[in-house]
Structure 1
Amino acid sequence: MAAGAPRVFVSHLSGVAVFDPNGDQVGRVRDLVAMLRVGGRPPRVLGLVVEVVSRRRIFLPMTRVTGVESGQVITTGVVNMRRFEQRPTERLVLGELLDRRVRLVDADPKDAEVTVLDVSITQLPARRDWEIDKVFVRRGKGGALRRKGETLTVEWSAVTGFSMEEQGQGAENLLATFERLRPADLANVLHHLSPKRRSEVAAALDDDRLADVLEELPEDDQIEILGKLKEERAADVLEAMDPDDAADLLSELPEDEMERLLTLMQPGDAADVRRLLAYEERTAGGLMTTEPIVLRPDATVADALARVRNPDLSPALAAQVYVCRPPDETPTGKYLGTVHFQRLLRDPPFTLVGSIADTDLRPLPPGTPLPAVTSYLATYNMVAAPVVDESGSLLGAVTVDDVLDHLLPEDWRETELHHGALDMSDLRETVDGH
């Protein structure tokens, strides 16, 4: 574990309050959701089960948790109120892992059996991912009258008895097989599976991972996979996708199906997608993302660099920030200018971004056709461009990767996936069960 990385024992989280950024209580933690992995690898913590005021239990992904301490949990403020439903590949940490009888891997056989009293979770360096890293156990037999035995804290890999065996074709093995693949490579695997197996693998992925993979698949595969998910889960996956990719996918569905999914999505996410659907596909408005980095003019270079460091941002979106009057979410107040990443590196941290914004570069109107967008990026050597409406409000940003998607032949994903298939044939055979 990297120095300074937080570690929390899960027993200390049971019942603690969950707050939004404004300090309002959302609910209380009732459990944690983890995904077990084979080979002694630490489980990934997917999220928290939170009981809200109505006593409904909802799922809060760890990607929406900004702070975990013994006394409280802080969220981004975006909470999905749909009732939590446990999936086959998920384990409840408090409900299923604690008080379990397991064995120490390298211990003397007569002393190897232990009882799990607690486990600790830690955040991985430079990421928002969390995993279970240590297990607090007690030697000795169970039972209310047992004599208290020795307690010790060991690494997750030092204990066996939690996860499935290495053989078999269960969902955990599937996830372990392709967990470290890039989304584009995993899309390659899914594209060449049978429809039945593709659906099974997609069902085993968590929402964020499936969203990333869908963005790399051809439209036919996207529609097929989305159509086999329950509507509420399909809405969750669409929320996890970039708004422009979600809009592209929804635009391929029948009108009534598209509207049902939009209704099931969180209002804020659905509003972003609806705005994008209002523009022609091959225009700046249809190509843009609604989630660029937006800062007020009184923000500092230090504030801007902190936003740029977000690991969830694509390199194109992290290349520059957009300075606007409040509100600082699209559509914003008056657009004032752009500050490029290189400029942020050259100026002192206390410099106000409003004083160094490039105001000479004209933004793109949302109706700008694709050829003009391409020429703009090429002329000014840009990887992203601001899209501003007639009132001067920033609507979003067009990135070079979105432009390339529309300049390449329509079947480029199928062609690319076909060429990459030979290199990954062994992996596909493992996943496909042959």
Structure 2
Amino acid sequence: MSATRVFVARLAGCTVFDPAGDRVGKVRDVLVVYRKNDPPLVVGLIVEIPGKRRVFVSIGRVTSIGSGQIITTGLINVRRFEQRGGEVRVIAEMLGRTVVFNDGSGEATIEDVSIEDLPQGGWAISQLFVRRPKTSLSLFAKGATTFTDWGEVREQTTEGQAQSAEQLIATYSDLKPADLANTLLDLPPERMHEVAGELPDGRLADALEEMPESEQVSILTRLGDARAADVLDHMQPDDAADLIAQLPEELGEQLLDLMEPEEADDVRFLLTYAPDTAGGLMTTEPIIVSADATVAEGLALIRRHDLAPALGAAICVTLPPYEPPTGRFLGMVHFQRMLRYPPHERLGTLLDQGLDPVTADTSAAEVTRILASYDLVSVPVVDENHRLVGVVTIDDVLDYLLPDDWRSHDGNDDVRRRAEARTELTTGSIPLHHGRRTGNGPS
């Protein structure tokens, strides 16, 4: 193995290769065990392989660490990683901890950890990169940073003291919502709740949308009502409705009362529909414009960075008002069609005349059949007065078709279940109940 010293935070996301140069996965953490008189010993890496499964790769299987990549012997046990007693994850559990200097000079917070290979073989923690408390009252001031050897400090283990998750959150800053959700779910429960509690509202909302119901409820109920309502405000209305439907009725109403009125109204509206209908699947935040809007204006709306890709595939055209329930629904204009016309062209002249909307009580099976039959990404939903109330997107249907525990299956099972979902999309045949919402509306 090549002699080197590396900092663990820089390993997060590094690609792992086998000796032939084929990609194995990505590093998600480093696992260590504490020793009585010596620095913690590295026992292996936690690697995410295709299928989002986390596996353990023994440090003895690693032949090279450096240049942003890891080389292994190619022999990897693909059994799902389970943390054992005495093992500590450096990124998930050690970063952010408080340490006290043995010389009495105060305390600091661990921001990174370096590991190096030992002369006798194996790897161990060598140095810590720590930050001392700030000495200025300025909001922009930061404490001084320094490197220190493991033996020069001891960890602060005051009972009941929560370790800061700030550095861990910074390490996760570039993860996509689905990857952030998987990473949080992979943490020990208490650490997961601690990190979730310190994530920004919008970031936590994105992660919750990607989690199974039980973990959503567990995290939300630990936040406190005011914070929970703020997070729900940042979620897509349909996802927020799904989550609130899993809560006790009294708590759900309490959180709705604390939410922003406009957001709460959308959620209450969605909760009136049964889970196996278009109304139960739809989102109430499509792009809606007038018939006089131009191609240039439509494309500008699609470019919004916070817009879900499925919602950006088409624009809804209605009479005023332009918030659901809108004025009379006129039609949809697909993104690709807009690209074929000059910027000044009116969207009212580009409507898809062959696409009929569905009603809010249309069954999920029929919505599935329409999306599959016509290769659509979304389908509009109208009420009895032909007013637009929302759209059902392909991801809404997949969320409905896939079982609640699909994230917990291994890669091969995920492939099988996606194939089953694809068959269901094509045939229009769906299970009796895979929906997440327990809506109190008509069935």
Fold shared, TM-score > 0.5 on shorter chain: yes
Distance 1:176 1:364, change over 3 A: same
The answer to whether the 8 Å contact 1:191/1:417 transfers is: no
Query: What is the deviation of 1:370?
Result: 1.1
Q: Is the 8 A contact 1:188 1:417 kept in 2?
A: no
**SS of the residue 1:285 aligns to:** helix
Cross-structure match for 1:358: 352
1:416 Cα deviation after fit: 5.7
Counterpart residue identity of residue 322, structure 1: C
How well do the aligned residues superpose, as a CA RMSD in angstroms? 2.7
SS of corresponding position for 2:409? helix
Q: Once the two structures are superposed, what CA deviation does each residue of 1:68-112 show, in whole Å capped at 9, x if it has no partner?
A: xxxxxxxxxxxxxxxxxxxxx9xxxxxxxxxxxxxxxxxxxxxxx
Gaps of 5+ in 1: 1-37, 40-88, 90-114, 120-131, 133-159, 421-434
Residues 323 and 165 (structure 1), Cα distance of their counterparts in 2 relative to 1, 3 Å cut: farther
For residues 147 and 305 of structure 2, what CA distance do their matches in structure 1 show? Answer: 32
| TM-score relative to the length of structure 2 | 0.57
Secondary structure (helix, strand or coil) at the match of 2:325 reads coil
Return the index of the structure with the highest Cα Rg. 2
| Paired AA for residue 396 in structure 2 | D
Alignment of 1:1-400 (within 5 A): 161=142, 170-400=164-394
Aligned letter for 2:282?
M
Count of equivalent residues: 269
Q: Would the aligned equivalents of 1:299 and 1:352 in 2 still touch at CA under 8 Å?
A: yes
Asked whether the equivalents of residues 251 and 277 of structure 1 are also in contact (C-alpha less than 8 Å), the reply is yes
Question: Matches of 1:288 and 1:408 in 2, distance apart?
Answer: 16
Percentage of identical aligned residues: 52
SS at match of 1:184: helix
Q: Counterparts of 2:198 and 2:146 in 1: how far apart (Å)? A: 18
Give me the whole-angstrom Cα distance separating, in 1, the residues matched to 2:293 and 2:143: 48
CA separation of 1:291/1:416 partners in 2, compared to 1, >3 Å: closer, same or farther? farther
SS at match of 1:315: coil
> In structure 1, what is the equivalent of residue 401 of structure 2?
407
CA distance 1:171–1:335, shift in 2 (3 Å) = same
Gaps of 5+ in 2: 1-8, 11-95, 97-134, 149-154, 156-162, 415-443
Amino acid at match of 1:360: G
Q: CA deviation at 1:360?
A: 3.0
Question: Are the counterparts in 1 of residues 276 and 364 from structure 2 also a CA contact under 8 Å?
Answer: yes
Question: What secondary structure, in the 3-state scheme, does the structure 2 residue paired with 1:238 have?
Answer: helix
1:417 positional shift: 9.2
In structure 2, relative to structure 1, the CA distance for the partners of 1:288 and 1:165 (3 Å cut) is: farther
